[in-house]
Structure 1
């Protein structure tokens, strides 16, 4: 245990809040430190007097009482934190000690303890601030003058030492006191002023962070609601009998909606990472499947620009890799998107090398290479900063927010890895993503078994949809109309609760924000029912996608969570998964 941990534990005992106001923490710390230093001085003084007087004297009793009083005052901080009380208490002890040596024998200004008078302004400045330091200085001048008067009125001392010596001690004492006061006032004013400014800046930053989070939460909800209509309805149209031209128009609308959703997700991801609310969730997955899926996602975009795209995997490929496949895919998707965006002719390649470190430990080296125009040398680091896209005009020419690479670097760091520009020239660029991972055995995916078990059982389900937005109701109605389910729609929370009380449903799709009663409150009320419907599966379908929303909905009694915009495959999957899970549990 080092001294820092000892100090922290002692201050915790004294109930000095480490996360409280910095100036309060510093004042309380000054009180106990000064008190303990005075205790130490008294203990040393006790030992010196014992040797000097060859035994215990009355002074030892007085010193012992002073030590006990100091210890009591220090530990009083645990219950009482009035700074002026401690300043006055220490001043009385200091001036009392000087008087105890200066008055009985008429020593006056010649007392050996006179030098301690200079500590008064510093002590008061740190404990109680500038005003206390000034007050002690005024009292100190009067006190030193009084001691000088005592010296002058005791003839033996005056004769022995002479008037000049008395005057010299007097002026030196005043000078030391003045210097101490000036330094204390300036120092305490500067320190506590800086602490006050720091606290103000910290509070302002916290308010700004809270305002930013509120703004992002509001914008996320308000943008996801219309996006749900755009993406959801184009999803439904793609399954309809459209002509080639109409299908291409629908696909273009869908891509535009997806692009807007990607920008929104980038902003939310950046906010979550900066707030420390972005978690990494490792799981076993097939790395070959991930590579193929990621490349296939962008193969059509590459082909549309006349670009070739290949993937390759080298090294020791285990049956499965234990890592966060979702975040790896997110980084690779971003790198491939940029590579295709900034490459006019040639090719884009995705290459993975798996290196064995020790036992099951692996290092994944992903390289995304292109034949674009490259990145200028002076911008190699800048492209990883927020809202940076390389040279001027890049945003106008190619679009984008400039957040992608910064998020990629943050995600790589969260996973214990790194991302760098390995090589760049006018002939192309190669990004290198390095991540630690572990080899694993790929267990049969539980999701697949649930799908197989419930693929046919979704038909005939009775589904209650609680949604106040007309467009969102239309989206869900269009997505599920070919599934063979019976759907009942309600427009507010109270109507949802009433329907559950009087009817039977197999699953509920619950919006969060509804008039009358919000989704979380409805879920809690359903779980309190004394009927079999208290156990009905409830899925939150909401436009709120900020950090903590999923956990809040699950804590309210819901079984699963689906963020808008809603896609047909995701909606079908979450319904099957939730109903199957409830069936197994029953």
Structure 2
């Protein structure tokens, strides 16, 4: 039999084997790449800068900021390559002040290397937060600032920020170079951005990327020349709905460093660099941590001492993280219900399912990019979520759903559908509808029966879905219900579930309407 006469089923079997093999290779590469980047990012954080000269400090700040951006880019690329388009909860907003500090750290050293000067200038009051994915805004500014530095060797590049509660936030990237070519400005003014910036690579690729990403976040990008100093200016305008003015500086600063002083934390991690990074983060938040290097040592520590939460690496000698979590859950002792959080470079779908099946409450991917987010995650999983009301208050109506964040951010769902593409958009919407209906039915039964296992399992799914599509209020309400089940506050489940179910039905109707419009 020739190859051309090979049975169709045989070809399908071979394709399935090839596909499965590719997935396995991707999972292993994903883990190893994330582990390597975690070492890079973590090692840079551990460098003591006090004894370094100013020039070296400046360049180290540049490398640190670039490493954080690289980690986020690689993470997004690996997730996309695996077919996972879920947007991380909390990834659609940023704190403006620390983001500007990171921007300054990245580009000051780069400019100095070229004999130029980079500076950030703020005019008037600025919002506390932006409802924009940090990575996308970072990419926009990276292309615009990088383009400006190329054209002003030895000159200045300034980022100016001016905000208005009605008009929005304007971010101007100004340089004192030769300015933009007249043909480019004319084409941009005529709305012919394809001709202006080109369809593929070349000198205009950075501007084209910045333009496309600006459209994606709902911002407007314009280019102009300064007739007085002959420099070029790229103005990025973020509309008012993307700005969050709530809170004052003191409140924001207080939230930046969560207080873990009354928690005792077990950390099972065999890598010494990762131990040092985690110790540094936990010390900063006053957490009392005990570190062990493998699963067997972790079981010994659990039998000797009392802990509030365990942070568990997956790859460890003698007893790995999955085996450790299975042992804890099967122990039947005081730790059977202890919060377990996996800290791992294994974050793809199949890995996550295995980790949750072993008994994990949550997964934090390596490298850990933010100490504050890390601390808030710990508080959330020990039952003290920052920014969420107590389940008792929700059940008794002392805190209404109107006190939560925005009900739904349509732009996040739009990005998911765009990532799926026209061929898979309808299938994605169908799956969302099916999953939401299944969660509603299971939660109805679980709440009626007072089943902690059902409620926790289904709220995990609901938190992931609602966060992915931008239903932030539902995501927070689902967390409150999950915490109530974890604390076994079963008497008030109906009152806590009521606002969850109302928002769930609203989300289901919105997704169904989107799906019907695609038919």
Listed one character per residue, the Cα deviations across residues 398-441 of structure 1 (whole Å, up to 9, x for unaligned) are: xxxx8x76765554444344556566999654434344452656
1:294 deviates by: 5.9
Q: For the structure 1 residues 216 and 373, does the alpha-carbon distance in structure 2 shift closer, same or farther, using more than 3 Å as the test?
A: farther
Of 336-345 and 505-514, deviating more is 336-345
Equivalent of residue 138 in structure 2, options 322, 330, 340 = 330
* Offset, 1:510: 1.5
In the alignment, the residues of structure 1 paired with residue 309 and residue 84 of structure 2 have an alpha-carbon distance, to the nearest angstrom, of 34
What is the deviation of 1:442? Answer: 0.9
For 2:16 and 2:221, locate their aligned partners in 1 and report how far apart those are by CA, in whole Å.
30
Is the CA contact 2:95–2:130 (under 8 Å) kept in the aligned structure 1?
A: no
SS class of match (1:232): helix
Task: Tell me the C-alpha RMSD between the 2 structures.
Answer: 5.5
Q: Residue 433 of structure 1 aligns with which residue?
A: 236
1:28-427 to structure 2, matched below 5 A, reads 211=22, 217-238=27-48, 243-244=51-52, 255-256=62-63, 259=66, 262-270=69-77, 272=79, 275=83, 277=85, 279=87, 289=97, 292-293=100-101, 296-298=104-106, 300-301=108-109, 304=112, 305-307=115-117, 309-312=119-122, 323-324=131-132, 326-327=134-135, 329-335=137-143, 337-339=145-147, 341-342=149-150, 343-352=152-161, 364-372=169-177, 388=201, 390=203, 408=210, 411-417=213-219, 419=221
- Indicate yes or no: 2:264 matched with 1:454: no
Q: Distance in 1 between matches of 2:327 and 2:85?
A: 29
Structure 2 CA distance for partners of 1:368 and 1:451, relative to 1, 3 Å: closer
With the length of structure 2 as denominator, give the TM-score of the two structures: 0.51
Q: Secondary structure at the match of 1:367?
A: strand
Instruction: Provide the C-alpha distance between the structure 1 equivalents of 2:94 and 2:75, rounded to a whole number of angstroms.
Output: 28
Change (3 A) 1:243 1:319: closer
Flag the 1:251–1:423 CA change in 2: closer, same or farther, 3 A: closer
| TM-aligned CA distance change 1:206 to 1:338, over 3 Å | farther
Distance in 1 (CA, whole Å) between partners of 2:276 and 2:129 is: 41
Shift in alpha-carbon separation, 1:222–1:326, aligned structure 2, 3 A: same
| Match for residue 490 of structure 1 among 264, 268, 293 | 293
1:6-35 superposed Cα distances (whole Å, 9 cap, x missing partner) = xxxxxxxxxxxxxxxxxxxxxxxxxxxxxx
State how far apart, in whole Å, the 1-side matches of 2:168 and 2:94 are: 15
Sort the Cα spacing of 1:255 and 1:565 in 2 relative to 1 into closer, same or farther, 3 A.
farther
Compared with structure 1, are the counterparts of its residues 255 and 441 closer, same or farther at alpha carbon in structure 2 (3 Å cutoff)? closer
Does the CA-based 8 Å contact 1:527-1:534 persist in structure 2?
A: yes
1:442 to 242, 246, 259: 246
Separation (CA, whole Å) in 1 of partners of 2:70 and 2:16: 25
Separation in 1 of the partners of 2:287 and 2:251? 25
List gaps (5 residues or longer) in structure 2.
1-7, 188-192, 385-482, 488-519
Q: Is the 8 A contact 2:145 2:173 kept in 1?
A: no
Higher RCO (CA-CA < 8 Å; seq separation 6+):
2
Distance 1:515 1:290, change over 3 A: closer
Tell me the number of residue pairs that the alignment of Structure 1 and Structure 2 aligns: 360
Mapped to 1, the partners of 2:348 and 2:230 lie a distance apart of: 41
What is the alpha-carbon distance in structure 1 between the residues aligned to residue 74 and residue 274 of structure 2? Answer: 23
Q: Give the Cα separation in 1 of the matches to 2:24 and 2:232.
A: 39
Give the corresponding residue for 2:265: 463
How far did 1:348 drift? 2.1
5+ residue gaps, structure 1, are 1-195, 392-401
User: What's the TM-score once normalised by structure 1's chain length?
Assistant: 0.46
CA displacement at 1:578 relative to structure 2 = 1.3
Q: Distance in 1 between matches of 2:36 and 2:196?
A: 32
Q: 1:303 to 1:222 in 2, by over 3 A?
A: same
C-alpha distance in 2, partners of 1:273/1:556? 26
1:545 and 1:332 map into 2 onto residues whose CA distance is 27
Partner in structure 1 of residue 321 of structure 2: 519
CA 1:243 to 1:318, structure 2 compared with 1: closer, same or farther past 3 Å? closer
How much has 1:562 moved relative to structure 2?
3.9
Q: 1:518 to 1:405 in 2, by over 3 A?
A: farther
For the residue of structure 1 that corresponds to 2:153, the secondary structure is: coil
Question: Does the aligned pair in 1 maintain the 2:62–2:108 contact within 8 Å?
Answer: no
Return closer, same or farther for 1:573/1:280 CA change in 2, 3 Å cut-off.
closer
